[in-house]
Structure 1
């Protein structure tokens, strides 16, 4: 299963089918994306769309399933007091290159509204540490996300 997840993460910009048993992995990533989206206090339409797009392209999920996953991740966010459990699972199941790609996905959500709030910047620094991503890889992920979104660096 880990090889399939690795393939899924590495083909971030391509439509890839992920086996049904990867729903727990998808829920973990969705939870982390919601955490990033909520860093500025709200789940805006642009951020929600960025999460939905990532889930749709990577998991070939239907819009109804995506909406359910986002809503569940949103509810879990309200109940969560820490994010180390999510980051630990991702850190343990992926290598550095895969975590950098996930970091880029998170940057795309944070930057989806075109504004990097102080709380979002702080969260991204914290996530880089929790995911064992060095400053250079994190900056590269941020720059790649900006380029994909058509934002100036």
Structure 2
């Protein structure tokens, strides 16, 4: 019998230790963040946890948004032991179709290696990258 997974936007269910451990020790994009920075980013974002039948967190993503014009998808991951089952597709699909996000006009994200995954949800390369800028504090 296949294992059942569910997604929740309830921040009280998030396993902060699992999230911080993954982001700091296993991700390429957040390994320079501190636990305090991660906690603050979670507190100020819309977060989604993915859980197995036992209620253990196996995935995570967060969205920074004004709920109308723009949303930035961040920190998407599925723990190594649970990959290859389509869980990331399920997580992203749930986020994109989340009722509170229905009016968002533009989504953004950054990825080094998952372009094909995100293309399945309508993400494309920037149409006008020459108008985009960033301010990076190092």
For the criterion TM > 0.5, the same-fold answer is: no
Higher relative contact order (CA 8 A, sep 6+): 1
Larger radius of gyration: 2
Shorter chain as denominator, the TM-score bin is 0.3 to 0.5
Name the TM-score, length of structure 2 as normaliser.
Answer: 0.32
More strand by percentage: 2
Question: Normalization by structure 1: what TM-score?
Answer: 0.30
Greater helix percent: which structure? 1
